Amino acid sequence: MVYILNIETATKNCSVSLSKNGQTVALKELSEEQFNHAEKLNLFVKEILASESISFADLNAVAVSKGPGSYTGLRIGVSAAKGLCYALNIPLIAVDTLAVLAEKISIDSGMIVPMIDARRMEVFTQMFDKDFNVLSTAEALIVDETAFANIIEDIHLVGDGSLKCKTVLTDAKFIFHEDVIYPSANEMNRLSYKKYIENTFEDVAYFEPYYLKDFMLTTKK
pLDDT the model gives residue 214? 59
What percentage of the chain has pLDDT greater than the value 90?
91
The yes-or-no verdict on residue 133 having pLDDT over 50 is yes
- DSSP conformation letters of 10-42: SSSEEEEEEEETTEEEEEEEEE-SS--HHHHHH
pLDDT the model gives residue 1? 94
Identity of the amino acid at 12: K
Q: Which CATH class is domain 105-176?
A: alpha beta
pLDDT the model gives residue 184? 98
Across the chain, what does the average pLDDT equal? 94
Confidence of residue 216 (pLDDT cuts 50, 70, 90): very low
Question: pLDDT digit string (tens) for 3-44?
Answer: 999 999 999 999 999 999 999 999 999 998 777 899 999 999
Residue 6 contacts residue 24 (beta carbons within 8 Å): no
How does DSSP classify residue 34?
S
| CA 118 to chain centroid | 14
Cα dist. 86→11, 74, 83, 92, 149 in Å? 25, 18, 5, 9, 46
How does DSSP classify residue 109?
S
Higher pLDDT, 216 or 115: 115
Domain 3-97+183-197 sits in CATH at 3.30.420.40
Tally of CB atoms within 10 A around 6: 30
Cα dist. 101→157, 172, 217 in Å? 10, 22, 27
Question: pLDDT digit string (tens) for 153-190?
Answer: 999 999 999 999 999 999 999 999 999 999 999 999 99
CATH 3.30.420.40 domain extents, the chain: 3-97+183-197
| CA 7 to chain centroid | 9
pLDDT the model gives residue 221? 43
